[in-house]
Amino acid sequence: MNHPLPPETSDVPLAPGERLPKTQRDKLSPEAVAKIQAIASQFPDRMAGTLPALYIAQKEFGFLSLGAMKEVAAALGVTEGHVFGVATFYTMFRKKPVGRYHFEVCTNLCCALNGAAELLAKVIEKTGARPGEGPSPDGLWSVDEVECLASCGSGPCIQINHGVFDEFVDEAKLEALMDACRRGETAAWGE
């Protein structure tokens, strides 16, 4: 499936003190709202649906804009402040767009001992994206450094969207993986 790139025009994070006009929202699909409500009803307290709901919203929009967070709050019936607080606490909730293939390179100690720094440098060079700076110009790639991915015995490793790929000792492996992404054989973000 050809997944659309994350929307570019969605509202970007606000500067401190800046407020968002009330009307500016990303509309969650009715299916997503239904899913959020079904999940929340499984728990003794609807608030427990916050993390799953944020994942659902993130899947729809590619990242969590303020508008998306407001939608989540409305779907759950919790305050916007709560949702904002949770979304900004956890690193896996993205406040900025990511590329279709989001490379998260573990650079923690075990991976570092086995060459994670070189791997990261290669990923940056080949994708043209830099950690923390959003997607590459073609929208295909983005790169981040992450902490331990629980693949320490087979590091260095990269998580791409929903898959962990390990044992990146040579460049050829990285190239093969990027080719697989280009051919659409690896799930794009949100799939």
Partner 1 sequence: MAAIRTKPDHQLYTFEGFGSSKYPNLMLRGAGDLHNWHLKVYTEKWEGYEACRKALKMEPAAVTAEVKASDLRGRGGAGFRTGMKWGFMPKDTPERKVTRYLVCNGDEGEPGTFKDRAILEYNPHQLIEGMVIAGWAMQCRTGFIYLRGEFSWLIDKLEAALQEARDAGFLGKDILGTGWDFDILTYRGAGAYICGEETALLNSLEGRRGEPRVKPPFPASVGAFGQPTTVNNVETLAAVAPILRMGGHAYAQLGTPGNTGTRIYGLSGHVKRPGLYELPLGLPMDFILNDLGGGSSTGRKLKAVIPGGSSAPVFDAKDFDCPMDFDTVKARGSMAGSGGMIVMDESTCMVQALLRLTHFYAHESCGQCTPCREGCNWMEMILHRLEHGQGRPGDLELLASLPPRINLRTLCPLGDAACGPVESFLQKFRGEFEYHLEHKTCMVGAKSILPELVAAH
Asked if residue 184 binds partner 1 (CB under 8 A), the reply is: no
Question: How many whole angstroms separate alpha carbon 127 and alpha carbon 50?
Answer: 33
Minimum gap (Å) between residue 105 Cβ and ligand FES: 9
Q: How far is the CB of 152 from ligand FES (least distance, A)?
A: 3
Other Cβ atoms closer than 10 A to 166 = 18
Site membership for partner 1, residue 105 (CB under 8 A):
yes
Binding mask 92-111 for ligand FES (x = CB under 6 A): --------------x-xxxx
Do the Cβ atoms of 37 and 75 come closer than 8 Å?
A: yes
The two counts, helices (H) then strands (E), for the chain are 7, 4
Q: Which of partner 1, ligand FES, none binds 180 (CB below 5-8 Å, type-dependent)?
A: none
Q: Is 157 in the site for ligand FES (CB under 6 A)?
A: yes
Q: How far is the CB of 146 from partner 1 (least distance, A)?
A: 8
The number of beta carbons lying within 10 Å of the beta carbon of residue 39 is 18
**Could you give the C-alpha distances from 125 to 106, 131, 136, 184, in angstroms and in order?**
17, 11, 11, 21
CB 102: neighbour CB atoms within 10 A?
23
Residues in the chain: 191
Residues that bind ligand FES (CB under 6 A): 106, 108-111, 148-152, 155, 157
Residues that bind partner 1 (CB under 8 A): 42-45, 47-52, 54-55, 78, 82, 85-86, 89-93, 105, 107-110, 112-117, 120, 124, 131-132, 145-155, 159, 162-164, 166-167, 187, 191
